[in-house]
Amino acid sequence: MPTGLRSLIDSGTRVWLDSVDPEEVIKNKTAGVTGCTSNPSIIADLVQSGRFDDKINEFIEQGLDDEALTWAMTDHLVVEAQKEYTGVWADTQGNDGWISFELDPLLEDTANPLSVEERSAKYVELGKKWNEGHQNRMIKVPATEAGLGALEELAAAGITLNVTLIFSERQYLAARDAVWKGRQRYGKLDEFKSVYSIFVSRVDVYTEKELPGLSADLQGQVGILNAKLIGLKNHEFWADKGLKLDQEMIFASTGTKKPELPKDFYVDALAGSDIQTNPPATNAALDEIGRVYEPTSRTLPDQAILDEFATIDIQKMEDQLMAEGTAKFADPHKALIQTIADKRSALAGA
């Protein structure tokens, strides 16, 4: 009987790699992973590795400044991953094999002077720019007010979207309805694909700190239950739409934040449907643990726990986690630009 990563996939979960490291992409694809996501922290680690110095020099010789080089390098690594998964994308007729490309996180920087409306317009502009000419690239947009404000127009342009940084049902519903409205304007519904990335473990960090009075049955489980309930709503909404492709949740931020928890704590609890994005280390850990995973993503706890969950002020939780999340969104991109600048100096002195 298959165990580890293979068992997770067999349970009904699709696994996407939270990396565009070319070596890890190939390795994990062989193990059954069917897509990838990228973000500035991932790109920064790859730049620092020294494995891509020749490509960086190439961009330097083209006269690119640090920010332009940052985007050129991101685009290059995402394109390479897209090539690996073009076959999966074609074989599934666009239901899988996607690589996510994150739009400019500095649009969410607290120092950004643009209004919400102006930032929404910028997301639309950048989404069209970075989507052009790509068939299995998913444009990643955060569920901030500016990001949500861009979704209908992006979907109406026929762009395939990964709406990220979702913590609440309110964000999910706003994102889903905007994407669906925009896509219906565009048409070609047989080619319509969308995903909605809900962050899981950060919710439990919040409740442990801010809601210490929760029962032992619920504390440490709020992120899982929140994700399951939203996942069920997503499944129910799309069930009668007659679409050819799956509109799915991505269960993200599934790494454990507490050392006493098993490394597969969230992976196990959300096995069986939709998509999980795992970094290479998590996929390796699953094989080391060697467990068999059963479908659990649509199994809910007793009514008493659901009733207690309903007492949580979800809007307050969303507000705080989004304030923290947007900082975590923008700061790594600033760090990536600095990493590029440092690499430029190192290569110049080599």
Q: What pLDDT is stored for residue 348 in this prediction?
A: 86
Which domains are present in the chain?
Answer: 4-345 (3.20.20.70)
Q: What pLDDT is stored for residue 325 in this prediction?
A: 87
For residue 307, give both structure tokens. Answer: 């009733």
Q: What pLDDT is stored for residue 1 in this prediction?
A: 81
Percentage of the residues of the chain whose pLDDT score is greater than 90: 95
Q: What pLDDT is stored for residue 350 in this prediction?
A: 63
Q: What pLDDT is stored for residue 329 in this prediction?
A: 79
User: Could you list the active site residues?
Assistant: 140
SS3 166: strand
Residues of the chain with pLDDT under 70: 350
CA distance 350 to 348: 6
CA distance 217 to 228: 16
String of b and e for 270-304 (b: at least 16 CB within 10 Å)? bbbbbbbbbbbebbbbbeeeebebeebbeeeeeee
Contact 274, 200 (CB under 8 A): no
